[in-house]
Chains A and B, each alone.
Chain A
Amino acid sequence: MIHASDRWESAILIALLSAIVLLTIVTAQRGRKYFVRRIPGLNAIDEAVGRATEMGRPILMVPGLSGLGVVGLQALTIFSYIIKTAAQFGNRLIMPTADSALYTVAEEVVRDSYTAAGKPEDYDPNSVYFLSDRQFAFASGVAGTIFREKVAASFLFGDFFAESLIFAEAGQQVGAIQVAGTVSTTQLPFFIASCDYTIIGDEYYAASAYISREPTLLGSLVGQDYCKIIILLVVLIGTIAMSIPALGAKWFFIQWFTL
């Protein structure tokens, strides 16, 4: 599907989902209160930061391999909340990045978070750095850092590929408390096997709303839930139609989604 006109009905569904999200965002910004359920892994963040404080060892944050896009930015948003907590306790921070464009933003996010926490003087410009955009060169650098610094807590959020297990096992072996979340579903099993807490699926996108309780984000989250209900309904209707011989694949509703 290159253009909406290739299959208008499908494109309208995408537009409809977008509209729903925008609508709930606007109502939330106008003061409507929304609820978000507990996400277990995220409650562990304070625990992890606390542990790092006790041990006096640094906290590692890796925003994944992807560039300047929604996934990497979401990781940085989550990190900015963690940094604000960590800044209160004076934890040392290490954030290696794998993309130069994302690195520039990361550097700003970290600096701003220290300022927002009221500790601009604690910000260490060497704590955020660009390491490599080559997957396994990056992995070798991060793994080496984990072992050398014996990190106390490790937060892996973003787009990860095969290197996920290198980070997670290295952290496991130095006894770090690890919280991970990724949009790469194929890497989730390895995080689950080696990390203390794993954020699964779109809990990743819900995380910033959960931690910040920002109305915009909560509104968006509610909208996303409505969208998922719509998709579920579409799947149900399609399935039922396919099961009725008189309707089948030729039925107009099914054709709407046939590219």
Chain B
Amino acid sequence: MSSFAENLQNIDRRYLYLTLLLIVVIGLLVPIPLPLAVGPQARGVYDAIEKADPRKLAIVSTLWSASTQGENRPQTRVIIEHLMRRKLKFALIAFGDPQSTILAYEVADELAPKYGYKYGRDWINFGFRADIAGTLKGMVRNIEETLKQDTKERKPLHQFPIMKGIRNFDDVGFIAEVSASANYVSWLGLVAGSTDAPFCYAPTSVMAPELYTYIDSGQIAGMLFGIKGAAEYERMLGIKGFTTRAITPVSLTLILLFVLIGLGNYGMFASRRQGGKA
């Protein structure tokens, strides 16, 4: 006969799965006000954009595909939205996965009308490049010569008003990369030395831990830690977007995990004490 405690250590996985699903749905529908402290890393990104020189170009580099859009899309969105609020000119560039240029373009394209952003004047899409090291090395010398044309209208870059007076990274005031991989190596290794622009990073939460070394050394000015970082950012911007909504279920699912691990261990010890099989 199986005791209650023994059952606790062998809960049918289907119950676990359904509970998880239920928690996610409820968490998305009923916003439970959970405390959210804005961390210093997210604040670092915010300050970098606040302090950026409006005469210079901001660059948002993306390296993510649909598979990590749960974290990377809201990150891209908050950064672009903040840039638009501050009326900063920005350019999108994509590496790693050809999809990433389409996905990032969509985000910017969607926000543009709200802030009166005009393509070619206020923002531009440099498009996807397969070879990140070569592209960045070239851009350090001359952005226009390296990239040649934009992706949307396929016109030479100098024909766009936004590119006036922009030659190389000296004319760049802010760099952010939203990424699902460890691309910071290229940016820090190849670009950081030739610009004063602060470098910010918005990785998935799997990647984020790797970056603390560089934050500690000051090479990275700020970071959005996965979906949590995006939620903190929405809070600073005072908008209630997807992540503000999503952060509740994120917390709830992790609490569920803690509870389950607790129950499993309690069950194991309790049944051991009763002389049951552990």
**Do B13 and A136 have beta carbons less than 8 Å apart?**
no
**Do B13 and A135 have beta carbons less than 8 Å apart?**
no
The answer, yes or no, to whether A43 is at the interface (CB within 8 Å) is no
**Do A173 and B67 have beta carbons less than 8 Å apart?**
no
Chain B positions 41 through 75: 1 when the CB is less than 8 Å from some CB of chain A, otherwise 0: 00000000000000000000000000100000000
Kindly list chain A residues whose C-beta atoms are within 8 Å of the C-beta of B67: 135-136
A194 → chain B, closest Cβ, in Å?
12
Kindly list chain A residues whose C-beta atoms are within 8 Å of the C-beta of B13: 173
Chain A positions 151 through 179: 1 when the CB is less than 8 Å from some CB of chain B, otherwise 0: 00000000000000000000001000000
Complex Cα gap A186–B206 (Å): 10
Kindly list chain A residues whose C-beta atoms are within 8 Å of the C-beta of B206: 186
Chain B residue at minimal CB-CB distance from A2: B133
Question: How many chain B residues touch A (Cβ–Cβ < 8 Å)?
Answer: 3
Size bracket of the A interface: under 10
> What's the dominant secondary structure at chain A's contact region?
helix
Chain A positions 85 through 107: 1 when the CB is less than 8 Å from some CB of chain B, otherwise 0: 00000000000000000000000
A133 → chain B, closest Cβ, in Å?
14
Within 8 A of A (CB), among B183-198: none
B53 → chain A, closest Cβ, in Å?
32
Complex Cα gap A173–B12 (Å): 11
Chain A positions 192 through 232: 1 when the CB is less than 8 Å from some CB of chain B, otherwise 0: 00000000000000000000000000000000000000000
Chain A positions 20 through 31: 1 when the CB is less than 8 Å from some CB of chain B, otherwise 0: 000000000000
Kindly list chain B residues whose C-beta atoms are within 8 Å of the C-beta of A136: 67
Kindly list chain B residues whose C-beta atoms are within 8 Å of the C-beta of A186: 206
Within 8 A of A (CB), among B1-55: 13
Complex Cα gap A173–B13 (Å): 9
Kindly list chain B residues whose C-beta atoms are within 8 Å of the C-beta of A135: 67
Chain A positions 174 through 190: 1 when the CB is less than 8 Å from some CB of chain B, otherwise 0: 00000000000010000
Complex Cα gap A135–B65 (Å): 12
Complex Cα gap A186–B210 (Å): 12
Complex Cα gap A136–B13 (Å): 22
Within 8 A of B (CB), among A112-138: 135-136
Complex Cα gap A186–B13 (Å): 25
B196 → chain A, closest Cβ, in Å?
24
A161 → chain B, closest Cβ, in Å?
10
Chain A residue at minimal CB-CB distance from B13: A173
Complex Cα gap A63–B156 (Å): 46
Chain B positions 169 through 212: 1 when the CB is less than 8 Å from some CB of chain A, otherwise 0: 00000000000000000000000000000000000001000000
B156 → chain A, closest Cβ, in Å?
30
Complex Cα gap A97–B19 (Å): 34
Kindly list chain B residues whose C-beta atoms are within 8 Å of the C-beta of A173: 13
A166 → chain B, closest Cβ, in Å?
13
A126 → chain B, closest Cβ, in Å?
30
Complex Cα gap A49–B13 (Å): 27
Complex Cα gap A116–B67 (Å): 42
B10 → chain A, closest Cβ, in Å?
13
Complex Cα gap A89–B13 (Å): 34
A140 → chain B, closest Cβ, in Å?
13
B133 → chain A, closest Cβ, in Å?
9
Chain A residue at minimal CB-CB distance from B68: A162
Complex Cα gap A97–B206 (Å): 26
B135 → chain A, closest Cβ, in Å?
16
B81 → chain A, closest Cβ, in Å?
29
Within 8 A of A (CB), among B59-95: 67
Complex Cα gap A135–B13 (Å): 25
A221 → chain B, closest Cβ, in Å?
30
Complex Cα gap A135–B68 (Å): 13
Chain B residue at minimal CB-CB distance from A259: B189
Complex Cα gap A94–B13 (Å): 27
Complex Cα gap A135–B67 (Å): 10
Complex Cα gap A186–B209 (Å): 12
Chain B residue at minimal CB-CB distance from A135: B67
Complex Cα gap A238–B206 (Å): 31
Chain B residue at minimal CB-CB distance from A173: B13
Chain A residue at minimal CB-CB distance from B133: A2
A175 → chain B, closest Cβ, in Å?
13
B68 → chain A, closest Cβ, in Å?
10
A115 → chain B, closest Cβ, in Å?
40
B99 → chain A, closest Cβ, in Å?
12
A134 → chain B, closest Cβ, in Å?
10
B202 → chain A, closest Cβ, in Å?
19
Closest 4 pairs (CB-CB, A-B) = A136-B67, A173-B13, A135-B67, A186-B206
Q: Enumerate chain B interface residues (CB-CB to A < 8 A).
A: 13, 67, 206
Would you give 4 A-B contacts (Cβ < 8 Å), ordered by A?
A135-B67, A136-B67, A173-B13, A186-B206
